Chain A
Amino acid sequence: MSDGDRALPATSALADPTRSSLRTRRVGLRHAVEERLWRGGGRVASWIPIAGLSLVLVVLFVKAWPAIRLNGLGYFSGSQWLPGNTYAPAVRTHGVLHPLGASYGAWPLVWGTIETSVIAVVIAVPLSIGTALALTERLPRWLAQPLGFLVEILAGIPSVIIGLWGVLVLGPFLSHHVYPYVANNLPDVWGLRYFKGSVGYGEGLLTSGLVLALMIVPIIAATTRDLFLQVPALPKEGAEALGMTDAEVTRRVTIPWVRSGIIGATVLGLGRALGETMAVAMVSGSVLGQVAPNIYATMTTIAATIVSQLDSAATDATGFAISNLAESGLILAAMSIVVNVAARAIVRRSSRLAAPVGRA
């Protein structure tokens, strides 16, 4: 507390000793109290994120510990999700109490999370950049402003509503009119084989990816639009005066100018896609224990599994089912952290050439 114990700060009222009337002295005292509150409050506030993050992780880790001990590394490669016989007497293995026959592997969940998020980001990033460019460079202002507002509204729609739309409208439509066409007409070569085969009923991997894309487009687009608005006119004019086309100006000046910001926005979207729970739980089919054999197949993600399995896991009196959900949650948290750290590294590397935003 060395900072807070310092003498009264030299406020403007006290700076001139010839004017230290009673009133100025009182004002000076008020300033000093305010100053202390500010500093103290700031110090407390600065600890909140650290405390919050570590508390959550610690609790998650404690809850997950029995599962971690029993599953070992097999948790990452295993595919089955068997709660075991909760009516038979519980057994103890390596000191961990668990129902007879319980066996857990998170590989389908982890892989499903990665797949849906990657599909979402691959679709959403070009779409968002296109939207942002249209809003800032192409459309007249009377159209761009209401459209930009709509984009922001889309970002605020609860995910359960988008999930409902996905499962009632988008999924059936795609599985009737789009997926069969794609699956039947693609050549049967390696790499495209993943897009062939049974198209299912509209609940599954691709539908989840598309719904996620729809949910993160507004986030990335709104951020990217604000970035594009900050690109100064001068370098863009320079490129135009050099005889570049509008597309070249965009590709070679506007986008590189804010490249690190776009990466940041993408990570924001990716983080949302990784953790998105409700919508995915509704459109993924929530099928445990299988890695999707093709892009239309039903599957599940970590977040969707946690929400859909929590109820039944609570019936496991040994707590082992809950512990496994906690372990998968720990993996999800680790994935988000890794993504964020990696993004930071990429931003640092790519911003070496880019201009700081706001500099002409």
Chain B
Amino acid sequence: MSVPYAVGEGYARKVMDEVSKSEVVPLGIDPVLANLDPDQGRPRQVITTEGLNLKFSETTILSGVTMGFDRGTITALIGPTGSGKSTFLRTLNRMNDKVFGFRHEGDVTLDGESIWAPQQDLLTIRRRVGMLFQRPNPFPMSIRDNVVAGAKAHGIARGKQLDVVAEMRLREVGLWDAVKDRLGDSPYRLSGGQQQLLCLARALAVGPEVLLLDEPTSALDPISTEAVESLLREMTPALTLIVVTHNLGQARRISDQTMFFFDGHLVEHGATAELFTSPRERDTDRYVNGLMG
């Protein structure tokens, strides 16, 4: 399978020239955000929730979550299975809206505006709040098309710019050298870790401000996990990350803030170091010390 265009050092130089001339955003962040003076304009907290109750039909999954996510930080969501953290995460980009029987009370704001406000565009919210799933989920198209699928749909780039986007995002996630000679190949031949990096590149290509990660490394081996984790650390403060994880070590390693969910409640939240060393609540203490879960 031949690559749709020539790849070499000359090409790389050409790409850099094209990028500097093109409309393509050079980093995986919103252009407005890239030029943003943090003291002006937007609120410090990119996402806030106010008294958020989530229900499926009559079953309450989560109640009374009031929380703010600071721009450019990593927040870990921990808690036993069924505690509501994944549902909470999927509410932030309105992935639950379509689920049968889903209802919510309270509010979620993105840059101070409710995500359910009538003037909000769902597709724009999802572009600004990206998501990485538990298992890699590449689309049935070539590796290159996978990376640019979202960018194409949102009209971020077109034509030759798409090649630029593909290369930059793949370089960003450290996958470029592994796939540069087979951009036209099926993504399903990549390893699980590589597929997850590909999905990360795909999510970055639409220029999100916030990335929601639902146990992004639970299906990966330790080396791929380490690669993803170090990428996540590098991506702040350009991006705000919210990570659901069952891996307490991972929460400790990468996050600034940690939220502990238990039994449909946000039991405790605070700076990660503090929450792990001196938790205020008994349940938190039991969970982070492995006595529950």
In the complex, are the beta carbons of B203 and A234 less than 8 A apart? Answer: no
In the complex, are the beta carbons of B135 and A256 less than 8 A apart? Answer: no
Q: Is B159 on the interface with A (CB-CB < 8 A)?
A: no
The interface centre, meaning the residue of A242, A259, A355 with most chain B CB atoms within 10 A of its CB, is: A242
Q: Which residue of B lies closest to A360 (CB)?
A: B135
Question: Which of the candidate stretches A38-46, A53-61, A166-174, A244-252 sits at the interface with the other chain?
Answer: A244-252
Q: Is B95 on the interface with A (CB-CB < 8 A)?
A: yes
Q: Is A157 on the interface with B (CB-CB < 8 A)?
A: no
Residues of A within 8 A of B264 (CB): none
Partner of A238, one of B137, B141, B142, B153: B137
* CA of A242 to CA of B98, assembled, Å: 15
**Contact (A234, B137) CB under 8 Å given A242-B149, A243-B154:** yes
In the complex, are the beta carbons of A354 and B140 less than 8 A apart? Answer: yes
In the complex, are the beta carbons of A238 and B126 less than 8 A apart? Answer: no
Residue interface bits A224-252, CB-to-B below 8 A is 1, else 0: 00000000001101111111110010001
Q: Which of A194-242 contact B (CB under 8 A)?
A: 234-235, 237-242
* CA of A340 to CA of B146, assembled, Å: 31
Q: Is B139 on the interface with A (CB-CB < 8 A)?
A: yes
In the complex, are the beta carbons of A243 and B140 less than 8 A apart? Answer: no
A143 CB, min distance to chain B CBs, angstroms? 15
Q: Is B115 on the interface with A (CB-CB < 8 A)?
A: no
B43 CB, min distance to chain A CBs, angstroms? 22
Q: Which residue of A lies closest to B154 (CB)?
A: A243
* CA of A294 to CA of B173, assembled, Å: 59
Q: Is B83 on the interface with A (CB-CB < 8 A)?
A: no
Residues of B within 8 A of A177 (CB): none
Partner of B142, one of A237, A240, A353, A356: A353
The interface centre, meaning the residue of B124, B139, B149 with most chain A CB atoms within 10 A of its CB, is: B139
In the complex, are the beta carbons of B153 and A235 less than 8 A apart? Answer: no
Q: Which residue of A lies closest to B184 (CB)?
A: A353
Residues of B within 8 A of A107 (CB): none
* CA of A245 to CA of B124, assembled, Å: 11
In the complex, are the beta carbons of B126 and A243 less than 8 A apart? Answer: yes
* Main secondary structure on A side of the interface with B: helix
Q: Which residue of B lies closest to A234 (CB)?
A: B137
Residues of A within 8 A of B138 (CB): 235
Q: Is A330 on the interface with B (CB-CB < 8 A)?
A: no
**Contact (A257, B203) CB under 8 Å given A243-B150, A245-B123, A248-B153:** no
- Please tell me the size bucket of the interface on A: 20 to 34
Q: Which residue of A lies closest to B121 (CB)?
A: A243
In the complex, are the beta carbons of A257 and B140 less than 8 A apart? Answer: yes
A38 CB, min distance to chain B CBs, angstroms? 36
Q: Is B127 on the interface with A (CB-CB < 8 A)?
A: yes
In the complex, are the beta carbons of A256 and B140 less than 8 A apart? Answer: yes
Residues of B within 8 A of A138 (CB): none
B115 CB, min distance to chain A CBs, angstroms? 13
In the complex, are the beta carbons of B153 and A242 less than 8 A apart? Answer: yes
* CA of A359 to CA of B154, assembled, Å: 27
Partner of B95, one of A240, A257, A259, A352: A240
Q: Is A253 on the interface with B (CB-CB < 8 A)?
A: yes
Residues of B within 8 A of A241 (CB): 93, 95, 126, 130-131, 133, 203
**Contact (A252, B154) CB under 8 Å given A234-B133, A238-B139, A243-B123:** no
In the complex, are the beta carbons of B139 and A235 less than 8 A apart? Answer: yes
Residues of A within 8 A of B141 (CB): 252, 256, 353
Partner of A235, one of B131, B140, B150, B154: B140
* CA of A245 to CA of B150, assembled, Å: 11
Q: Is B276 on the interface with A (CB-CB < 8 A)?
A: no
In the complex, are the beta carbons of A352 and B186 less than 8 A apart? Answer: yes
Q: Is B228 on the interface with A (CB-CB < 8 A)?
A: no
Q: Which of B105-141 contact A (CB under 8 A)?
A: 122-127, 130-131, 133, 135, 137-141
Residues of B within 8 A of A355 (CB): 140, 186, 188
Given contacts A241-B93, A242-B130, 4 further A-B contacts (CB under 8 A): A238-B139, A256-B140, A259-B140, A355-B140
Binding site for A on B (CB under 8 A): 93, 95, 98, 122-127, 130-131, 133, 135, 137-142, 149-150, 153-154, 186, 188, 199, 202-203, 206
In the assembled complex, 16 residue pairs joining A and B whose CB atoms fall closer than 8 Å, in A order, are A235-B139, A239-B139, A240-B95, A241-B93, A242-B202, A243-B123, A243-B150, A243-B153, A243-B154, A243-B206, A244-B153, A253-B140, A353-B186, A354-B140, A355-B140, A355-B188
Nearest 10 pairs between A and B by C-beta? A243-B126, A241-B131, A242-B150, A238-B137, A243-B127, A234-B137, A256-B140, A243-B123, A235-B137, A354-B140
